[in-house]
Amino acid sequence: MKDRFKAVMVRKDADKQIVEDVEIGLNDLMDGDVVVAVSHSTVNYKDGLVLTGRAPVVRKFPMIAGIDLAGTVETSSHSQFKPGDKVILNGYGLSETHFGGYAEYARVKGDWLVPLPQAFTPAEAMAIGTAGYTAMLCVLALEDAGVTPDKGSIVVTGAAGGVGSVAISLLAKLGYQVTASTGRTEEEGYLKGLGATEIIPRTELSGDPRPLAKERWAGGVDSVGSKTLANVIASLRYGGAVAACGLAAGMDLPTSVAPFILRNVSLLGVDSVQMPKPRRLQAWERLARDLDVSKLAAITQTIPLSGVRKAADDILAGRVRGRLVVQI
């Protein structure tokens, strides 16, 4: 174990947020009963918000960024983990209230950790990351709501992003017909390679919504929010449901109660940060079973820790396709 190691730290200087590369020691880490040697992390949309300061995600300063990590247990006083165990961690306040994954070591609570499924390497687990784990939570929510492949097609918004890419791959393998909504129609080949059967431009769902529109989809996975989510809700078939997990276009929802009452549809909120551990374990077990690992390579780029700040700008500008893995 190193005495000093690299980290990406977010600091606050008056009203200005500063991101810098630093060297710290184990004594600088926050409390926890497990120390993990971090091998990989990711860049998610939320990481982009943290590193650019575009939204007030960080609630304690200074803060090590990175909402995901994968690695090997170095030391543990937790009953379920021992040195040498491979583990992953998504959310639980990483990069908000607790030091995150953009460091060579992390001290965390063992209750937050999930054993790395045997189906994945640490790099593959981070190719999935919070985005893919959230996509699986959305699929589970749709299944719980009775949205099965025979009910009709599923629309996935923000399709070329991390959540969208994994959601398409999962849904297609499970037998659903998938409509991919994207602002990057030049990615049609990429999206069809993941399993989408239809590609529609983002503009079809970004206009002013009507309370009710033509019934099109049995369900949806939405990471965009605002007018896009409202248009998806208005276009759900009777008894349909949409799993909402993001707000890239805004936190507002300009819709009415009409589709909920007249078409018996459901809006399923999906949170990945504080999701109870049994559901986390279920999600990772299903990812190990239902995600085509061979497709991860097609949706993944690997960058060094020094590249996360540029990646943050790129992901918020919509220039990132699929997933970014950070090799620590």
Q: Report the CATH number at residue 38.
A: 3.90.180.10
Tens digit of each residue's pLDDT (9 = 90 or more) over 32-50: 999 999 999 999 999 999 9
Give the DSSP per-residue string, 128-191: HHHHHHHHHHHHHHHHHTT--GGG--EEESSTTSHHHHHHHHHHHHTT--EEEEES-GGGHHHH
pLDDT score of 110: 97
* 145 and 253 assigned to the same domain: yes
Q: Is residue 274 part of a domain?
A: no
* 51 and 19 assigned to the same domain: yes
pLDDT score of 16: 86
Q: Which domain holds residue 62?
A: 5-116+294-327
Tens digit of each residue's pLDDT (9 = 90 or more) over 210-222: 999 999 999 999 9
Q: Is residue 87 part of a domain?
A: yes
* 234 and 112 assigned to the same domain: no
Q: Which of 14-23, 235-244, 275-284 has the lowest mean pLDDT?
A: 14-23
* 137 and 96 assigned to the same domain: no
Q: Is residue 277 part of a domain?
A: no
* 138 and 212 assigned to the same domain: yes
* 91 and 149 assigned to the same domain: no
* 112 and 134 assigned to the same domain: no
Q: Given a cut of 90, is residue 1 above it in pLDDT? A: no
The two beta strands, 217-222 and 198-201, are unpaired
Q: Is residue 307 part of a domain?
A: yes
* 231 and 315 assigned to the same domain: no
Q: Is residue 122 part of a domain?
A: no
* Distance of alpha carbon 191 from the chain centroid: 18
* 203 and 247 assigned to the same domain: yes
Report how many domains make up the chain: 2
* 154 and 202 assigned to the same domain: yes
Position 19, amino acid: V
Q: Is residue 206 part of a domain?
A: yes
Q: Given a cut of 90, is residue 96 above it in pLDDT? A: yes
Tokens of 114: 């999930």
Percent of the chain with pLDDT over 70: 100
Which sign, positive or negative, has the C-alpha torsion 148, 154, 156, 159?
A: positive
Confidence of residue 184 (pLDDT cuts 50, 70, 90): confident
Percent of the chain with pLDDT over 90: 90
* Residue 6 parent element (H or E): strand 5-13
Q: Report the CATH number at residue 261.
A: 3.40.50.720
State the Cα–Cα distance between residues 283 and 290, nearest whole angstrom: 10
Mean of pLDDT over the chain: 95
Fill in the DSSP letter of residue 306.
G
Which sign, positive or negative, has the C-alpha torsion 133, 139, 143, 145?
A: positive
* 96 and 174 assigned to the same domain: no
* 108 and 146 assigned to the same domain: no
pLDDT score of 2: 87
Q: Is residue 123 part of a domain?
A: no
Q: Is residue 188 part of a domain?
A: yes
